[in-house]
């Protein structure tokens, strides 16, 4: 557990700044009608399943990973959901003679220094390792559709169901909530899993066959949990003619027996690709308008899914596909991107985002084991790098703290149309204004050292019923980043999670202002305002 030592009015500016005149943003003191309730596990994790035992631990839990999940539970009252699958799930087969897993992994390249396995054989103990997760963790697991091996999907699902019925798992309240049949099936025709004529109708037919077999074998129809995940497509056609939720609904997937078990539709999204070894600049990733244009493209899909009474998640997401871009995905600027990206996704109807993680991936929030080669280009490290967080982990911390432990937090985006880099969100507990997050995504990078760091000055214009209480004071907490391209040295309210055990360290540093005062926010900074 961390200790909270409040030290008001302790904030030291690291850089010279240039201030702009204050401007006002509207903030309702009562949650607007229709404001969505935000899950405390909004930021959750997708884990490449080839090296799952290293993440969670074998004979004992991976305490470092456990602690980092527990940090988020302390702040929000809920552990992140864990999805185990991704590309590996369509390269996995079951062999009861294997204890955990045997992987065949391709050669390291400078572009992909930590490649995922192309052949994974798992045994029964592989699934029982879920007992090493924190109590009450919600899990979903993928089974192989891509290799069209019905026996493999059958035995994988039987083994996971048996594991999750074991006392070691049930006694901790860990649940298998969903089974995912196939990963990114819309890419099968391009990755060699199917021929060029592969289409949504064939997908629905094959998914129904495999999911039906899995459901019948495990008697899913009589259970409250688990259910089935639908979709898990890499892209969306945003219409009913290509791979999309609309297409599979129109083709009747929900009318099939296994389709009746679908409770959630998952789609995948990355903001770009590093698969060819090139990526955009850090500012391009952080850009407020780009985040909104990327995600707003899914609004039609989300509305369609919710129209059927189903939940919608981004079941696999992160910055740049193929494990991230060097000196972009692993930087402090990516933490601002992940926070704005996640919160905005929540405002348009996504209940959770599962940020994809693998051993040594550049875009990881968490590096859970010691690394011996560089995540940037695969060259040997002079000194092994112990388990550590990357800056994006702070986005999960901030989101968890902003949403809080109430279980009834609503969130609304603040309208700031005239500021291209400034985003904001307000949080309401039981309908009353509680907190706000401001994100200044203008990048201040190390090559600008010595130049003034720009600053915005924000005042809140409280609106709403005259009978509603107005805040009198504001406590200000800051994500302190020296440069957007830093890969360490970030602090949140003066505290660090860059510790050997992953637990927070240091006293909290806050400023206290009256509610009428302006809040300063410099480029490459996040500010959380707690109203009282």
Angle between helices 150-164 and 200-217 (to 10 degrees): 40
Instruction: Say what angle helices 288-296 and 332-347 make with each other, to 10 degrees.
Output: 40
Any idea which residue has 């990526």 for tokens? 279
pTM: 0.95
What would the mean pLDDT of 375-390 be, rounded to a whole number?
Answer: 97
What was the pLDDT predicted at 18? 58
Same domain, 124 and 144: yes
Q: Does residue 186 carry a pLDDT above 90?
A: yes
The more confident residue out of 305 and 5 is 305
Cis amide linkage into residue 257, ω under 30° from 0: no
CA dist., res. 291 & res. 284, Å (int): 9
Inform me whether the pLDDT recorded for 310 exceeds 90: yes
The CATH number of residue 333's host domain is 3.20.20.80
Assess contact for 225 and 173: CB atoms under 8 A: no
Q: Of 350, 371, 403, which marks where a domain is finished?
A: 403
User: Are the CB atoms for 395 and 339 separated by under 8 Å?
Assistant: yes
Contact in structure between 412 and 31 (CB atoms under 8 Å): yes
pLDDT of residue 227: 94
Judge whether residue 7 has pLDDT over 90.
Answer: no
Assigned domain for 242 exists: yes
Does residue 101 lie within any of the structural domains?
yes
459 and 475, same domain (yes or no) = yes
- Digit-coded pLDDT (tens) for 83-121: 999 999 999 999 999 999 999 999 999 999 999 999 999
Please, what is the angle between helix 63-76 and helix 393-403, to 10°? 30
Exposure letters 421-453 (e unless 16+ CB within 10 A, then b) = bbbbbbbbbeeebbbbbbbbbbbbbeeeeeeeb
Tens of pLDDT along 22-32? 899 999 999 99
Are residues 359 and 427 both part of a single domain? no
Could you tell me which of 403, 532, 529 has the C-alpha nearest to residue 459?
Answer: 529
Cα–Cα distances (Å) from 284 to 146, 280, 281, 357, 421, in that order, read: 34, 6, 5, 22, 11
Could you say which of 403, 429, 463 is where a domain stops?
403
CATH number assigned to the domain comprising residue 461? 2.60.40.1180
Residue-wise pLDDT tens digits, 57-84: 999 999 999 999 999 999 999 999 999 9
pLDDT tens digits, one per residue of 454-498: 999 999 999 998 778 899 999 999 999 999 999 999 999 999 999
Q: Provide the pLDDT for residue 19.
A: 58
In-domain check, residue 1: no
> Pick from 390, 311, 412: which is nearest to 26 by CA?
412
The sign one gets for the Cα dihedral 504, 509, 513, 517 is negative
Does the structure show a pLDDT above 70 at 16?
A: no
| pLDDT above 90 for 419 | yes
Q: Do 343 and 445 sit in the same domain of this protein?
A: no
Report how far apart, in Å, the C-alpha atoms of 107 and of each of 111, 118, 249, 303, 322 are: 11, 11, 40, 42, 15
Residue located via tokens 């996040």: 526
In DSSP terms, which residues pair with 6 in a beta bridge? 508
Looking at the structure, do residues 290 and 330 belong to the same domain, yes or no?
A: yes
Query: Coil, helix or strand for 317?
Result: strand
Rounded to an integer, the average pLDDT of 177-187 is 97
Indicate whether 186 and 275 sit together in one domain.
yes
- Residue 466 within a domain: yes
Same domain, 194 and 261: yes
Same structural domain for residues 181 and 318?
A: yes
Residue 13: what pLDDT? Answer: 35
- Listed in sequence order, the DSSP H helices in 8-112 are 52-56, 63-76
Q: Tell me what the mean pLDDT of segment 493-512 comes to.
A: 98
242 and 318 inside one domain: yes
* % of the chain residues with pLDDT over 90: 90
Query: How large is the average pLDDT for residues 188-214?
Result: 97
Asked whether 445 and 431 are in contact (CB, 8 A), the reply is no
Q: Quick one: pLDDT at residue 20? A: 60
Which of these, 38, 42, 44, lies nearest to 355 by C-alpha position? 44
My answer on whether 428 and 329 are in the same domain is no
Query: Directed axis angle between helix 393-403 and helix 332-347, to 10°?
Result: 40
Q: Tell me the two tokens of residue 2.
A: 């961390």
Residue 419, judged by CB atoms within 10 A of its CB (0-12, 13-18, 19+), counts as middle
**pLDDT value of position 3:** 32
Half-sphere exposure of 338 (CA within 13 A, CB side): 36
For residue 93, give the nearest of 46, 143, 58 by alpha carbon: 143
In a domain, 125, yes or no: yes
Distance CA 65, CA 54 (A): 10
Tell me what pLDDT residue 270 has: 95
Predicted pLDDT at 494 = 98
Instruction: Give the residue-averaged pLDDT of 340-350.
Output: 98
For the stretch 124-154, pLDDT in tens is: 999 999 999 999 999 999 999 999 999 999 9
**pLDDT above 70 coverage of the chain, percent:** 96
Quote the number of domains for the chain. Answer: 2
What is the Cα–Cα distance from 511 to 496, expressed in whole angstroms? 18
- Domain containing 249 equals 43-403
Q: Is the pLDDT of residue 21 over 90?
A: no
Q: Does the structure show a pLDDT above 60 at 1?
A: no
Q: Cβ distance 336 to 405 under 8 Å?
A: no
Note the Cα 111 to chain centre separation in Å. 23
In this structure, are 300 and 163 located in the same domain?
yes
Residues 188 and 256 in one domain: yes
Strand, helix or coil for residue 303: helix
């Amino acid at each position: 557990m961390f200790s909270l030592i409040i030290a008001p009015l302790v904030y030291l500016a690291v850089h010279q700044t240039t201030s702009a005149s204050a401007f006002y943003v509207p903030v309702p003191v009562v949650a607007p009608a229709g404001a969505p309730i935000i899950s405390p596990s909004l930021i959750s994790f997708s884990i490449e399943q080839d090296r799952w035992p290293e993440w969670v631990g074998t004979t004992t839990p991976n305490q470092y990973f456990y602690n980092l999940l527990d940090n988020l539970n302390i702040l929000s009252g809920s552990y992140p959901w864990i999805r185990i699958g991704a590309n590996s799930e369509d390269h996995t087969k079951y062999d009861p003679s294997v204890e955990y897993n045997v992987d065949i992994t391709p050669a390291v390249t400078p572009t992909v220094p930590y490649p995922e396995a192309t052949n994974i054989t798992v045994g029964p103990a592989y699934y029982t390792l879920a007992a090493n997760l924190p109590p009450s963790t919600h899990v979903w697991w993928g089974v192989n559709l891509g290799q069209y091996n019905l026996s493999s999907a059958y035995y994988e699902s039987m083994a996971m169901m048996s594991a999750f019925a074991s006392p070691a798992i049930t006694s901790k309240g860990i649940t298998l909530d969903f089974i995912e049949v196939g990963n990114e099936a819309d890419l099968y025709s391009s990755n060699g899993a199917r021929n060029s004529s592969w289409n949504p109708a064939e997908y629905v037919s094959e998914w129904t066959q495999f999911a039906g077999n899995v459901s019948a074998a495990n008697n899913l129809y009589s259970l409250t949990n688990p259910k089935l995940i639908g979709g898990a497509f890499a892209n969306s056609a945003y219409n009913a003619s290509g791979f999309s939720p609309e297409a599979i609904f129109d083709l009747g997937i929900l009318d099939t027996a296994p389709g009746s078990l679908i409770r959630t539709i998952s789609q995948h999204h990355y903001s770009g690709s590093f698969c060819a070894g090139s990526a955009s600049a850090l500012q391009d990733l952080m850009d407020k308008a780009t985040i909104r244009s990327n995600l707003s493209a899914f609004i039609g899909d989300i509305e369609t899914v919710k129209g059927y009474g189903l939940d919608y998640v981004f079941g696999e997401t992160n910055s740049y596909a193929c494990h991230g871009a060097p000196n972009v995905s692993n930087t402090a600027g990516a933490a601002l991107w992940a926070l704005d990206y996640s919160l905005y996704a929540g405002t348009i109807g996504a209940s959770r985002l599962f940020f994809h993680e693998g051993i040594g991936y550049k875009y990881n929030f968490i590096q859970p084991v010691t690394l011996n080669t560089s995540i940037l280009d695969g060259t040997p490290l002079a000194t092994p790098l112990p388990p550590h967080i990357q800056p994006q982990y702070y986005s999960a911390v901030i989101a968890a703290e902003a949403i809080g432990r109430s279980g009834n937090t609503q969130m609304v985006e603040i309208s700031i149309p005239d500021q291209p880099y400034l985003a904001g969100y307000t949080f309401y507990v039981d309908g009353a204004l509680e907190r706000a997050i401001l994100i200044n995504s203008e990048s201040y990078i190390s090559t600008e050292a010595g130049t003034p760091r720009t600053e915005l000055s924000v005042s809140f214009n409280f609106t709403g019923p005259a009978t509603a209480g107005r805040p009198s004071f504001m406590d200000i907490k800051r994500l302190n980043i020296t440069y957007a391209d830093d890969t360490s040295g970030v602090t949140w309210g003066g505290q660090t999670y860059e510790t050997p055990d992953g637990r927070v360290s240091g006293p909290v540093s806050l400023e206290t202002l009256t509610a009428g005062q302006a809040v300063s926010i410099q480029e490459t900074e996040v500010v959380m305002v707690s109203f009282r």
